[in-house]
Chains A and B, each alone.
Chain A
Amino acid sequence: MSDLQKLYDAILNGDAKTAVAVTKEALAEGADPLEIVTKHMVPAMDEVGQRFECEEYFVPELLLAARAMKGSLELIRPLLVERGAEPAGRVAIGTVKGDLHDIGKNLVASMLEGGGFEVIDLGADVPPEKFVEAIKQRGANLVCLSALLTVTMPAMRTTIEAIRAAGVRDQVKVLIGGAPVTKRYADEIGADGYGESATSAVALARQLVSEGVAR
């Protein structure tokens, strides 16, 4: 059997080539796809998150690890869908209307994906109705909003208002983040949580899911 410790190491080292090769080999040998994710990939991304938190890893290392993880996940995802495996949660994520800055959002999306969540990445400059659509039609139970600019922060409030007006606010939890955003602002606009970093967003998302919220 292929050594899946190598997959863990490849993700940790941001080595996409090896991550993909090991995953292919493991799948060909009949390894359980869900186990590859839960026992090797998620722990690897958790370790990446830990190293980021303690400032052993920085943005480049996070990006490289996420690429390795994604390369591997692309091979596994169709198999998981085939068997109807449920993700840890279904997240609709995007930068709010008027905001084109998506580096932070992309990092959070990758970390959530690495944490076992299904990520519906709506991209940048996303109007409120797109989030509503993702909740109604694609079953998102978590919404993550990102803003870098002080002038686009108010779009977080209008997005939450649109979700409420569409009658689906109780189906989702809303997490917000971005350079000028604070916990106080999250409380002010009626968000359910504020993530200071990509890793804290994952912890928060897990916490909300474990509380049995909106699944």
Chain B
Amino acid sequence: MTSRERVLAALAHGEPDRIPIDLGGTSVTGIHASVVAALRDYYGLEERLVKVHEPYQMLGLVEEDLQDAMGLDVQGVFPRKTMFGFPNENWKTWRMPDGLEVLVSEKFVTSVEANGDILIYPEGDRSAPPSGRMPNDGYFFDTIVRQEAIDEERLDPSDNLEEFGPITDEDLEHLRRGVTRVRGTGLAVIASFGGTAFGDIALVPAPFLKHPKGIRDVAEWYCSTRSRRDYIHRIFSTQCEYALANLERIYGAIGNAVDVVFVCGTDFGTQTSSFCSAATFRELYFPYYKQVNDWIHRHTGWRTFKHSCGSVERFIPAFIEAGFDILNPVQCSAAGMGAEHLKGSFGDRLVFWGGGVDTQKVLPFGTPDEVRAQVLERCQNFAAGGGFVFNSIHNIQARTPVANVSAMIEAVHEFSARRAGVVHV
């Protein structure tokens, strides 16, 4: 089987020749640049600087040679602009606080504060207020919230819609080229178009905008989902209209050359509970997701991918009803998210893209043996009957030992080989 056939088989709830693996296909299934660099060393690949393609979480591009070395099956296509609003072009070198030299976009413009914190600017424009901060000795940027004083009488949903609108010809051409480039690799293609996540809290502060207006503070937004629900509905409703029109144009440009679409990264779960009730999800979010997914399923062959961290078991029936085909990152350590329970309850209707290993405890802090044991167990839990694409639970974080990442990959291949009868248990 080719990688693409393998992934498509898994998505169709069939058992492929081996478990397909994604690492680096999206901004939530990736690897921190420092770990990508360590993996390149580990596998003895050509010495070259790692490209930071997602500067917010400092994710490193997993290039073809590393994909081959690790036996990966999924290739990502990303939007033209990053979380800080600039395109990845004209790469330049940049030294991370830990000393590692990487490549970043020419528009990756930073300044250093007196305490050593690094500030980054939207669209690389230093005349605008900075929109991200990496603490001194840090590994990631975090959003700087820029919230103007709220005048209740003058709140206007259009202020929260600045980032949504008809897709530009430039963005469309970027997607078309990206898809064309990766289509020939033999890997399955997952594309992130943007614009279809409703209320993604990482996007609400809009680190990509120079002067965001409306409700941009995280706590204020959460409060608004309860206290200003009409306002939120008006945002979602217009956003949804744009999204449907854009999907039509995108499909016109790329057709079915994409296998999976990253529809939404809105987090609904916490470690122990959720950010809202199942009833609120039904009332506030469900109608818009259903419209987007229904359009995709009616008009395209794409599968729809839903990311939500945390405990989301209570929402899964609604996710399925809203037309999501795939759930990620499947945080098994969160309340009610046990692997066996999820597979038994929803495995015939939902593809689990993730769940492979815990990135909060086991992968960064465990031993290679502990990593191997958990990966084998999770593969056992999820692989039967297909419907499983292996991925760690969210991005592999900075400072994760490379021996643990290689143990993770080897364990997936070991499991697949055992199932194929190459190695007898």
Map CB proximity to B onto A74-91 as digits: 1 under 8 Å, 0 otherwise: 000000000000000000
- Tell me if B359 counts as interface (CB < 8 A to partner A): yes
B252 to chain A minimum Cβ distance, whole angstroms, is 39
Within 8 A of B (CB), among A93-135: 97-101, 103, 106, 125
Question: Majority SS of interface residues in chain A?
Answer: loop
Count residues on chain B whose CB falls below 8 Å from chain A CBs: 34
Map CB proximity to A onto B192-225 as digits: 1 under 8 Å, 0 otherwise: 0000000000000000000000000011001101
- Tell me if B2 counts as interface (CB < 8 A to partner A): no
Map CB proximity to A onto B361-392 as digits: 1 under 8 Å, 0 otherwise: 10011000000000000000000000000000
- Tell me if B360 counts as interface (CB < 8 A to partner A): yes
B397 with A149: CB separation less than 8 A: yes
User: B225's closest neighbor in chain A, by CB?
Assistant: A60
B272 with A196: CB separation less than 8 A: yes
- Tell me if A21 counts as interface (CB < 8 A to partner B): no
Contact pick for A98, options B137, B271, B274, B359, CB 8 Å: B137
A64 with B226: CB separation less than 8 A: yes
User: B222's closest neighbor in chain A, by CB?
Assistant: A60
A151 with B133: CB separation less than 8 A: no
- Tell me if B186 counts as interface (CB < 8 A to partner A): no
Contact pick for B219, options A55, A106, A182, CB 8 Å: A106
A67 with B223: CB separation less than 8 A: yes
- Tell me if B139 counts as interface (CB < 8 A to partner A): yes
Within 8 A of A (CB), among B122-154: 133, 135-140, 142
- Tell me if A150 counts as interface (CB < 8 A to partner B): yes
The distance in angstroms between the C-alpha atoms of A182 and B407, with both chains bound, is: 24
- Tell me if A168 counts as interface (CB < 8 A to partner B): no
Contact pick for B399, options A55, A60, A150, A182, CB 8 Å: A150
- Tell me if A171 counts as interface (CB < 8 A to partner B): no
Task: Given A58-B277, A149-B397, verify A98-B135 contact (CB < 8 Å).
Answer: yes
B273 with A55: CB separation less than 8 A: yes
- Tell me if A61 counts as interface (CB < 8 A to partner B): yes
A186 to chain B minimum Cβ distance, whole angstroms, is 13
B55 to chain A minimum Cβ distance, whole angstroms, is 16
Residues of B within 8 A of A166 (CB): none
Within 8 A of A (CB), among B256-279: 270-277
- Tell me if A214 counts as interface (CB < 8 A to partner B): no
Chain A, interface residues (CB within 8 Å), range: 20 to 34
B218 with A60: CB separation less than 8 A: no
Within 8 A of A (CB), among B61-81: none
Residues of B within 8 A of A182 (CB): 361
Contact pick for A149, options B140, B218, B272, CB 8 Å: B140
Within 8 A of B (CB), among A24-53: none
A75 to chain B minimum Cβ distance, whole angstroms, is 21
Task: Given A64-B226, A64-B227, A98-B137, verify A150-B360 contact (CB < 8 Å).
Answer: yes
Task: Given A60-B223, A151-B139, verify A179-B365 contact (CB < 8 Å).
Answer: no
- Tell me if B342 counts as interface (CB < 8 A to partner A): no
- Tell me if B398 counts as interface (CB < 8 A to partner A): yes
A103 with B218: CB separation less than 8 A: yes
Contact pick for A151, options B142, B272, B274, B398, CB 8 Å: B398
A150 with B222: CB separation less than 8 A: no
A150 with B272: CB separation less than 8 A: no
Residues of A within 8 A of B276 (CB): 58-60
The distance in angstroms between the C-alpha atoms of A53 and B277, with both chains bound, is: 13
Map CB proximity to A onto B276-315 as digits: 1 under 8 Å, 0 otherwise: 1100100000000000000000000000000000000000
User: A125's closest neighbor in chain B, by CB?
Assistant: B135
User: B224's closest neighbor in chain A, by CB?
Assistant: A60
Residues of B within 8 A of A98 (CB): 135-138
User: A127's closest neighbor in chain B, by CB?
Assistant: B115
A-B pairs with lowest CB-CB distance, top 6:
A60-B226, A180-B360, A100-B142, A150-B364, A60-B222, A98-B135
- Chain A residues with a Cβ under 8 A of chain B: 14, 55, 58-61, 63-64, 67, 97-101, 103, 106, 125, 149-151, 179-180, 182, 196-197
A to B CB contacts below 8 Å, 8 in the list: A55-B273, A58-B274, A58-B277, A59-B276, A60-B222, A60-B275, A98-B137, A150-B364
- Chain B residues with a Cβ under 8 A of chain A: 117, 133, 135-140, 142, 218-219, 222-223, 225-227, 270-277, 280, 359-361, 364-365, 397-400
Given contacts A55-B274, A59-B275, A60-B222, 9 further A-B contacts (CB under 8 A): A58-B273, A59-B222, A60-B226, A64-B223, A103-B219, A150-B359, A151-B397, A151-B398, A182-B361
